[in-house]
Structure 1
Amino acid sequence: MPPARLTRPPPRAPSPSPPPPALTGHVLAKAPKGPTGKTTAALTDQVLPALTASITLLQPQAPKEADNLHRTVSVAAARTHQGRPSLTLADMARKITEALDAA
């Protein structure tokens, strides 16, 4: 009996790439949340640019107030949890900080 030949399995097809981060929340949102009836992703799309615009408008007119708003929102975003933040909360806090820093 001849020795068994070792064969390699066929190559696997590449796995599909995940959706872009901006779309992930919209894809995962199945039902409206909150009193406005909007999903969290829809609210995020509205609020984060508004934060950036607020800091941008305040900075030339009242730099101290812009800094105060930046600190206040940053502290609030960092303290929205008890104990260690979940990945979702940590990601949202990061997005808020990026929106504030973009100004």
Structure 2
Amino acid sequence: MWSTVIFGLAHASNLISEGPGAFVQVLVTIAAGYFFYLIRRRSGGIWLPMLVHGLWDFSLVSAGVVPGKSYPLVIVAILTMIGLVVLLLVRRHHIEPVDRPAAV
């Protein structure tokens, strides 16, 4: 989890060029990183989180292709990501390993 926080904070440098709006980017990056981590834990591999990450980035990049034109599917992608993050945070105890005391 701490690696996702550090990665998200690395995006804080965008505060210089983009202003306070980049703060949301930092929070979304932290949440997305944790989401991708949980996908990796659950799937046991790297391919599924890579695919989801690629689709996520594609949806974000696609939003800025034509300036002044809105793409409603981008909002659907963002709302889906928020919903999945909330769902995973609520159910993460089923995904995360449980720390158990060592047998004596």
The two structures have a TM-score, normalised by structure 2, of: 0.39
The structure with the larger Rg is 1
Question: Which has the larger share of helix?
Answer: 2
The two structures have a TM-score, normalised by structure 1, of: 0.39
